[in-house]
Structure 1
Amino acid sequence: MIKIGLTGWGDHTDLYVSSPKEKLQDYSAHFPVVELDTAFYAIPTKRNVEKWIRETPNNFQFIVKAYQGITGHLRGESPFDSLEEMFARYRESIQPFKECGKLSMVLVQFPPWFQCKKENVDYLYKVRTELKDFEVAIEFRHQSWYAPTFKEPTIQFLQDNHFHHTVCDEPQVGEGCVPLIPVSTSNRVLVRLHGRNTYGWINPGDSEKWREVRYLYDYNYEELFDIQKICEELHTNAKEVVVLFNNNSGGHAAKNAKTFQQMLGIEFEGLAPKQLDLFDGGI
């Protein structure tokens, strides 16, 4: 099975036909999975999680991003007294998704400064222990994990510790990015498409709008065709391939995802009953 979705449901204006409060319902009429990216900035409240569960179809899936304190992105003082407390609070927040069958996996995306070295490998063991009851995908952002000396050990480590591998498509502009490594380490694999905006990746600016610069990209047909071949090959080894478009800032993600769905000839079942034919034009 190949599933297609987007990172977040709040920035895709072409999808919405209802009030601003019903964006998730409108989104779930088009795609069967979404990345809950707001969990990176703050651990979701029980109230919000229960609301999102109610608003989506029974077979809808969430990929919940790990909180920034877990991945080492947090700047400033932590709101938690210990790392163990942070993990406990995070587990508590995502447990309702798991209990109702709507948790696809947890995405642990490490920063570009998280290099392949012993203390970071030890921390990965810590993550596996703290999230032992959950499906976990690992995304690296430093090339050292895939350097010739470490590539095979990295893949083997993920496999041995029951981590799903995250395959990334992004600009190749230095150590703070990773090559596209089309390998699965389990029966599921996550593919995240960040776009290929090389200039924006190098020069995101210092403003709060850096994401709007970095992820401004519109995949063309030839690029999507290459990604299609990669995903189909991954599907020969992995039972489930989840593809997430993260090129949100220019409004291209939903359109690209719909075109990609058409190229694969996939019809998603069990969507919310608001499906509209907004994307017939493709690219």
Structure 2
Amino acid sequence: MGEIKVGTASWTDRTLLESGWYPASADTPEKRLGHYAEQFPLVEVDSTYYSPPAEQTAGLWAERTPPGFTFNIKAFSLLTGHPTKVSAIYKDLRPETDKKSVYPGDLDPAAYEQVWERFLAALQPLVDAGKLGALLFQFPPWFTIRRANKQYLLEVERRVRPLRAVYEFRHSSWFADGNRDETLEFLREHRLPYVCVDMPQGYKSSVPPLLVATADLSVVRFHGHSEKWTSKDIHEKFGYLYSEQELIEWAPKLKKLASESDQLHVLTNNCYRDYAQRNASQLIDLLS
């Protein structure tokens, strides 16, 4: 069986800090990260989706965690085709526009290349410390199955190499109408790690909870089953606490996936109060 690492998709969420999960003594960012790293071997950094990280920040993450700790980094929104606030882009690369948000095509090509270069360069301290796991590329709901988008998956792999990109889809077309085999065959052929998800079903953004290994690294993200999945309030969207029975049913499926991979990353993304931390701890117990 491959190595299994379990963690959460945040350690700084406001509602988590308010929940009492951290002891009173963990009253600084350094102490909170240290406490988190005592409980879990893995964390996903979601803040990098909203704004690219500074190299100094990545260096602090590396310094404040023990050997063997792993950071998965969520790709900056501009690199996955999401609308991106102009204010989040490096100041000297911002396009001259009255728009509040822009897309990759709104940037000068040279500026877009610089965004890629700087985003990856900022992660070097984690690379040097052996603490960078995977780069999560979560694509928008309009990123459908078509040739150009498949080619972009390959482009991402080339751009980040030798780092590892993992791919999460948010459009049902990748697995609907007989496309499942085509999608999985493409990912396996090019050794692109697929991000398996558990999420609400019945939406255009829904993909099935399909646990398959398409490369030596597998990733599973638990988004919960909130009835308010379409809410713009992120805490309503992800505010779902998995029951113990639900996780018991997941455990053998995760072990099977681990047996097909060299490494499995399991991340709870139901980030409201301490829901993600509680469920991740339960999964560690069930998988140990």
TM-score > 0.5, shorter chain as reference: yes
Q: Where do residues 81-120 of structure 1 align in structure 2 (5 Å cutoff)?
A: 81-82=108-109, 83-120=112-149
Query: Which of 6, 17, 21 in structure 2 is aligned with 1:14?
Result: 21
Q: How far, CA to CA, are the matches of 2:177 and 2:256 in structure 1? A: 22
1:156 to 171, 185, 197: 185
Deviates more, 1:72-81 or 1:250-259: 72-81
CA distance in 2, matches of 1:217, 1:259: 15
> For structure 2, which runs of at least 5 residues remain unmatched after alignment?
94-107
The alpha-carbon deviation at position 76 of structure 1 amounts to 4.9
| Alpha-carbon distance in 2 for matches of 1:122, 1:163 | 12
Aligned match of 1:212: 235
Partner in structure 2 of residue 191 of structure 1: 220
> Post-superposition, which runs of at least 4 consecutive aligned residues in structure 1 deviate over 4 A?
76-79
Whichever residue aligns with residue 10 of structure 2, its letter is: G
Q: Would you say 1:33 and 2:42 are equivalent positions?
A: yes
Deviation at 1:193, TM superposition (A): 0.2
Residue matched to 2:250:
227
Task: Give the deviation of 1:95 after TM superposition.
Answer: 2.3
Q: Distance in 1 between matches of 2:22 and 2:181?
A: 41
Shift of 1:132: 2.1
Q: Which moved more, 1:16-25 or 1:133-142?
A: 16-25
1:250 shift after superposition = 3.6
Higher mean displacement: 228-237 or 6-15: 6-15
1:44 counterpart (32, 36, 53): 53
Query: Separation in 1 of the partners of 2:192 and 2:125?
Result: 21
Please report the RMSD computed on the Cα atoms of aligned residues, expressed in angstroms: 1.5
- Return closer, same or farther for 1:109/1:254 CA change in 2, 3 Å cut-off: same
Report the Cα offset of residue 114 of structure 1: 0.8
Indicate whether 1:23 and 2:23 are aligned: no
Written as runs of structure 1 = structure 2, the 5 A alignment for 1:124-273 is 124-197=153-226, 199-202=227-230, 204-205=231-232, 210-265=233-288
Runs of at least 5 residues in structure 1 that lack an aligned partner in the other structure? 266-283
Q: Percent identical across equivalent pairs?
A: 30
- Confirm or deny: 8 A CA contact 1:217 1:250 kept in the other structure: no
Residues 128 and 161, structure 1, Cα contact 8 Å, conserved in 2: no
- TM-score, normalised to structure 1's length? 0.87
Tell which deviates more after alignment, 11-20 or 81-90: 11-20
Per the alignment, residue 63 of structure 1 pairs with: 72
* Greater Cα offset, 91-100 or 137-146: 91-100
Structure 2: which amino acid aligns with 1:215?
F
**Distance in 2 (alpha carbons) for counterparts of 1:124 and 1:2:** 25
Q: Is the 8 A contact 1:8 1:35 kept in 2?
A: yes
